[in-house]
């Protein structure tokens, strides 16, 4: 099952490149991938926990290199996110005027890189799959993007390449920090060594800082965030859905999978730095988001801002905070994918995303107005949506750190500041909805068509996903709790 999930998008891309009908092949391949991830999720034995569906192929025994696949609760949540957003991104793809086959192949390769990284238990392939996804990202923005797409494509490539280089240094140092006889690329072996205290605290401090910077650049952690808004504003909507909704979570996944369980002392040592930087994401970038005058740029900055909440949950290093961070990764991926999809449809119909050029579209495009309103409520964390359930866990988890001490702890001060981010996000999202969909419609938009019936299905699918986790968060938490319990126990020693 896991092998099919990993290789289905890659094989689908190859079929398209070799002549298979592009759109229908992509829809079938992504649909089967999504179905397989759901089957794997419900087949996972949460009571047993740990990595399941494990498969291994030896590539080089002398180099201790093995192609390892496996999934625990965190992996499965991320695989469902990736497969679901891939299916909806393909579904929302409009007619492509040039190189249609290459466009769909790039979408599938981007998703394949993210899925492969999430499912890899080998450190080498964990890194390699992410690098695979950077190539189609560059092509999607540079060939089919809008605005200053060439500059945006090069900027995102240079930033992510530098971040990947710093990450590679951290991973190599991590590999060399364990005893020679125990060195392995197997994440299970490395986690057992980390739990046994095989990595010296001084080494943990250096390695964690490198991983934080490397993963942080890939996630757009402040102040390494400037690549993201321009890239998402210039990218075609399906590419923005996949990158902002899925691939950006690779860095967060890496912190949860590698940095926190293997380097607990390093995480504690640098927690103050992470709190300062994530506050920049939430407060500074949030205020910059309010100042935006275009929907695509606003959504780009919004995506950067919300990464701060996930970093806060990760930094808490307790079970409720890390569970909240994982659920918020899923929730944000769904809501931002839906927002970028709808923004793409608005731009395709009107030719603009400037707030002052729009207005009153809810009367002309009622379903689009309803869908955007639901996505807005999800993004600002309205109760009933997955974002709300996740953010509550993040805030509770972060505020609990140092609660037994007198006075306010640094974590508690940061949590109070982060709560203002909820107000900031409500301001810019509700203002955007009012300026685009409320008021008197511009006469030149009177003949705009609403979303076609076929496009309403992926919208309903994404809304159903965020409502399901929002109303029944234990659907995800039942598989996430056994994933984080060992690392939380290690960090509290």
Q: What are the tens digits of pLDDT across the range 70-84?
A: 888 899 999 999 999
Q: Given this model, what pLDDT does residue 443 score?
A: 77
Q: Given this model, what pLDDT does residue 493 score?
A: 46
Q: Given this model, what pLDDT does residue 58 score?
A: 78
When pLDDT is cut at 50, 70 and 90, the band that residue 375 belongs to is very high
Domain count, the chain: 1
Q: Residue 311's domain spans which residues? A: 2-491
List pLDDT tens digits, range 244-275: 899 899 999 999 998 888 888 888 888 889 99
Q: What is the mean pLDDT of residues 220-224?
A: 89
List pLDDT tens digits, range 307-334: 999 999 998 888 899 999 999 999 999 9
Rg (CA), the chain: 21
pLDDT at 377 over 90: yes
d(CA 208, CA 204): 6
Q: Given this model, what pLDDT does residue 191 score?
A: 82
Buried b (16+ CB within 10 A) or exposed e, 282-311: bbbbbebbeebebbbbbbbbbbbbbbbbbb
Q: Percentage helix, strand, coil, to 5, in the chain? A: 75, 5, 20
Q: What is the mean pLDDT of residues 180-200?
A: 78
pTM of the prediction?
A: 0.91
Q: Given this model, what pLDDT does residue 263 score?
A: 87
Percentage of the chain surpassing pLDDT 70?
Answer: 96
pLDDT at 93 over 50: yes
pLDDT at 463 over 90: yes
List pLDDT tens digits, range 136-152: 999 999 888 888 888 88
d(CA 336, CA 339): 5
Nearest to 212 by CA among 121, 125, 128, 273: 273
d(CA 470, CA 467): 5
Percentage of the chain surpassing pLDDT 90?
Answer: 46
The three-state secondary structure class of 98 is coil
Cα-based distances in Å from 184 to 60, 74, 188, 346: 12, 22, 9, 50
What is the number of residues in the chain? 493
pLDDT at 349 over 50: yes
Find all residues with CB under 8 Å of 162, minimum gap 6, and list them.
Answer: 217
Q: Number of C-alpha atoms within 13 angstroms, CB side, residue 472?
A: 5
Question: CA angle, 384 as apex, 378 and 387 as ends, to 5°?
Answer: 40
pLDDT at 459 over 90: yes
pLDDT at 408 over 90: no
Q: Are 316 and 393 a contacting pair, CB within 8 Å?
A: no
pLDDT at 388 over 70: yes
The three-state secondary structure class of 65 is strand
Helices (H) and strands (E) in the chain, counts: 23, 2
When pLDDT is cut at 50, 70 and 90, the band that residue 413 belongs to is confident
Q: Given this model, what pLDDT does residue 192 score?
A: 81
Mean pLDDT of the chain: 88
Give residue 197's region: left, alpha or beta (phi > 0; psi -120 to 50): left
């Amino acid at each position: 099952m896991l092998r099919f999930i990993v290789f289905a998008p890659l094989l689908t891309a190859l079929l398209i490149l070799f002549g298979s009908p592009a759109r229908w092949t992509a829809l079938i391949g992504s649909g089967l991938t999504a179905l397989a991830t759901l089957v794997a999720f419900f087949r996972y034995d949460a009571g047993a926990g740990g990595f399941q569906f494990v498969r291994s192929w030896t590539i080089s025994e002398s180099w201790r290199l093995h192609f390892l696949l496996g999934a625990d609760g965190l992996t499965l949540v991320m695989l469902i996110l990736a497969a679901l957003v891939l299916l909806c991104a393909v579904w929302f793809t409009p007619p492509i005027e040039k190189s249609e086959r290459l466009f769909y192949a790039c979408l599938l390769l981007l998703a394949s890189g993210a899925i492969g990284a999430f499912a890899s238990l080998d450190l080498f392939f964990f890194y390699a799959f992410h690098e695979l996804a950077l190539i189609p990202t560059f092509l999607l923005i540079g060939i089919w993007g809008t605005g200053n797409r060439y500059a945006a494509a090069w900027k995102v490539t240079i930033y992510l390449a530098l971040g990947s280089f710093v990450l590679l240094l951290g991973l190599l140092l991590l590999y060399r920090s364990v005893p020679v006889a125990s060195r392995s690329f197997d994440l299970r072996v490395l986690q057992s060594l980390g739990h046994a205290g095989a990595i010296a605290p001084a080494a943990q401090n250096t390695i964690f800082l490198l991983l934080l910077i490397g993963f942080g650049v890939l996630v757009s952690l402040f102040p390494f965030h400037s690549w993201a808004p321009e890239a998402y504003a210039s990218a075609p909507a399906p590419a923005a859905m996949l990158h902002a909704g899925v691939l950006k979570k690779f860095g967060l996944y890496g912190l949860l999978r590698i940095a926190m369980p293997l380097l607990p002392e390093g995480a504690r040592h640098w927690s103050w730095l992470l709190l300062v930087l994530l506050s920049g994401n939430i407060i500074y970038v949030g205020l910059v988001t309010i100042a935006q005058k275009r929907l695509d740029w606003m959504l780009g900055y919004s995506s950067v801002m919300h990464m701060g909440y996930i970093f806060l949950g990760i930094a808490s290093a307790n079970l409720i905070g890390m569970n909240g961070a994982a659920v918020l990764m899923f929730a944000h991926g769904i809501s931002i994918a839906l927002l970028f999809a709808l923004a793409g449809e608005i731009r395709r119909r009107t030719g603009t995303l400037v707030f002052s050029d729009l207005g009153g579209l809810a009367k002309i495009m009622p379903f689009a107005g309803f869908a955007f309103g639901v996505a807005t409520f999800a993004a600002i964390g309205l109760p009933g949506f997955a974002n709300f359930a996740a953010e509550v866990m993040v805030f509770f988890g972060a505020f609990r750190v140092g609660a037994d001490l007198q006075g306010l702890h640094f974590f508690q001060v940061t949590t109070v500041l982060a709560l203002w981010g909820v107000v900031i996000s409500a301001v810019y999202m509700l203002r955007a909805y009012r300026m685009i969909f409320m008021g008197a419609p511009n006469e030149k938009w009177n003949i705009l068509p609403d979303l076609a019936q076929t496009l309403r299905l992926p919208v309903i699918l994404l809304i159903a996903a965020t409502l399901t986790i929002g109303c029944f968060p234990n659907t995800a938490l039942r598989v996430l709790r056994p994933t984080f319990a060992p690392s939380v126990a290690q960090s509290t020693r």
